[in-house]
Chain A
Amino acid sequence: MPVNYLQIQGQIQAKCQQASQNQQVYQDRLEQAVRLLRQYAADLDDLRDRVNEARQADLSLRCAVPLTERLDTVRDAPVIRELPPLLAADGSQVNPSRHDAVEFAVINTGIFRILPATHLTPSEDAETQLYLLDDLRNPDAPLTEEVVALRRDLNERRLLAERAAREPSQPVITLTDGPLELYREPRNNSQFDHLLSEYLTVLQKTGRQGAVSAGYVDKPGSDLVVRLLELTAEPRQPVQETARRRPLGGVLDRVIFAGLLAPGQRSAVFAIQSSMAERFAVYDPALQPCFFYLNVGNHPARPWMARVEIPRGVAEQTDLVDALHAVLLQQCRQMGSKPYPYALHRAHEIALITRLEKEQIETMIARAMRAMGLAVGEKSPKQYHKDNF
């Protein structure tokens, strides 16, 4: 039985009608947000105070914190004669599944190194890590999908740190897809703590080498800056109350900055206020996650926002931010109408584990297990039929 398009059609109608009614509310909020941004553009200390105040009331507060630049800062793309080398990493994983004949996990991390706009062939590399049998059976540290994801993020950063260390000169940009900040579950167990501290060690190492760590978030859905502005929206109300009521709810940062940033321009650099960000800062203040928005679009009529996360150590060095800004723009422009860093795409391509490859690995494992006299299970009938669909 296929999808019931009739039902879908009705639901689409209803929901669009609702949205259209909310449209005016949203428009008002957006205008208010923009107005607030301009109004408080220079009141950086006041804003920081409000954040602190709100933080006191709500430990889980998550919002942007201004650093040194005005809120409405726009920075043109810097002109840099020689772009620094770029190392991009991306990971791909096979999650353990009890439906498979053999339960196993694989993390494949692709590394792509490019010297932008030179006549040198970029290099590529991949590291594959297999988790099997005992790796999966540890009751203290079960290998859940979350853990695999965490380990993948860690691997990306670890490999980048290693590769950055081999670079003859600094700075070098190390880039991953997604935020630097980790917010994987579960956050409160020893396995997570262990992996997080390993992650922070790697980030710290990278920074101390003089390399830039950056996370690239395409089409960001975050409202960190909006939440900061909300804290000013109702001056007569207690901030914690305002934060709860969300007077600017529904407005996204990228919409505000799309109106602000011309192609190639970046926003001010903000720090992130969050519990996880605090753990980063506690480990090393230079690791506190910061971010800026970047319009990677080519055409004034078609802005395209990315959020770029960097550690505070980088955010405080303008030349490094400029280098990053320039490299990311150069990378995105190569992709024509769909801007995205070329190097990240290539790292993803290198890392990607296809279904065929997964089956190949499965076969290799089963063969080896049989050779060792180990019992090999069977694929679940459910999986069997899915595979043959």
Chain B
Amino acid sequence: MTNSSLHIGRLLRSTTSDCVIGCRASELNLPAFGGMVRIPLAEGTQIFGLIHNIQIEDDGLIRQLITSDNVPPDVLLDNRNNRNVPVEIGVIFIGYQQDGVISHLLPPRPPLSLDEIFTCTPQEVVAFTGNGRFGYLRHILRRDDLPQAELLAAHIQQAGQIHLTHGRPDWVEAVTRELVTLLRDDYDRLMSVLSAIGDINLS
């Protein structure tokens, strides 16, 4: 995660709880699965989200190219950098900030088409995930269609690393404890989440 907020794409479509961002394949090194993004709206409001899906579509040409014995570098670069093959990034909303106040509720309204999406700075990640009592986890746990365990592990890995260097080494433990509390009546889900968290490696 870099220290500054980087533009990663623009909004394709959204609902009150999630959105899909389009970005160029060449910019795909910026967003990461489980990474936190922010979508500034007007009047000092910005939505925080978590990348839960990155989808690379194919088309006829791509399908044709893979039948070739080898794909030369120029063609590879052309397809990555030029061609209008959409890379779609799925983001679920986990909260918002209004006039500097962070809330773990869903934003009052979704962002609009072509709104810009940025990565969150470490400061923003610390401020959001360290605020309150992990209320934002609800939004992830509510979504049975997501790879929850992996998403949570990726998020905890990234945010935990930031907290570690920002003076809260116990953050991972705290968030894990909260997950146990939230999921302790669902043995299977909890165990899969904890197994994933068990694979986290913070340095």
Contact = CB atoms under 8 A, between A and B. Distances in A.
Establish whether A and B are touching in the complex (CB under 8 Å): yes
Interface of A: 114-124, 333-338, 342, 345-346, 349
Interface string B80-123: 11111000000000000000000000000000000000000000
B72 interface: yes
B71 interface: yes
Interface in B47-90: 61, 64-69, 71-75, 77-78, 80-84
A124 B64 CA distance: 20
Given A123-B82, A335-B65, A118 B73 contact: yes
B84 to A, nearest CB: 8
A133 to B, nearest CB: 31
Contacts of B65: 334-336
A333 B64 CA distance: 11
30 contacts: A114-B74, A114-B78, A116-B72, A117-B72, A117-B73, A119-B73, A119-B77, A120-B74, A120-B77, A122-B77, A122-B82, A124-B78, A124-B82, A333-B68, A334-B65, A334-B72, A335-B65, A336-B64, A336-B65, A336-B68, A336-B69, A337-B67, A338-B64, A338-B67, A342-B75, A346-B61, A346-B83, A349-B61, A349-B83, A349-B84
A122 B78 contact: yes
Nearest to A119: B73
Contacts of A114: 74, 78
Given A116-B74, A334-B65, A336-B65, 14 more contacts: A117-B74, A118-B74, A119-B73, A121-B74, A121-B80, A121-B82, A122-B77, A334-B72, A334-B75, A335-B64, A335-B68, A337-B67, A338-B64, A346-B61
A122 B72 CA distance: 12
Interface string B155-193: 000000000000000000000000000000000000000
Of all A-B residue pairs in the complex, the 10 with the closest CB atoms, nearest first, are A336-B67, A336-B68, A121-B77, A122-B78, A119-B73, A337-B67, A121-B81, A117-B72, A124-B82, A334-B68
A62 to B, nearest CB: 34
Q: How extensive is the interface on chain B, given as a class?
A: 10 to 19
Interface in B17-67: 61, 64-67
Given A117-B72, A333-B68, A334-B72, A345 B61 contact: yes
Contacts of B67: 335-338
Nearest to A338: B64
Contacts of A124: 78, 82
Given A335-B64, A336-B64, A337-B67, A346 B78 contact: yes
A334 B75 CA distance: 8
A334 B77 contact: no
Contacts of B83: 346, 349
A24 B66 CA distance: 41
B64 A119 contact: no
B68 A122 contact: no
A337 B67 CA distance: 6
A77 to B, nearest CB: 15
- Looking at B61, B66, B78, B83, the one whose CB has the most chain A CB atoms below 10 A away is B78
Nearest to A120: B74
Interface in B111-162: none
A335 B65 CA distance: 5
Nearest to B80: A121
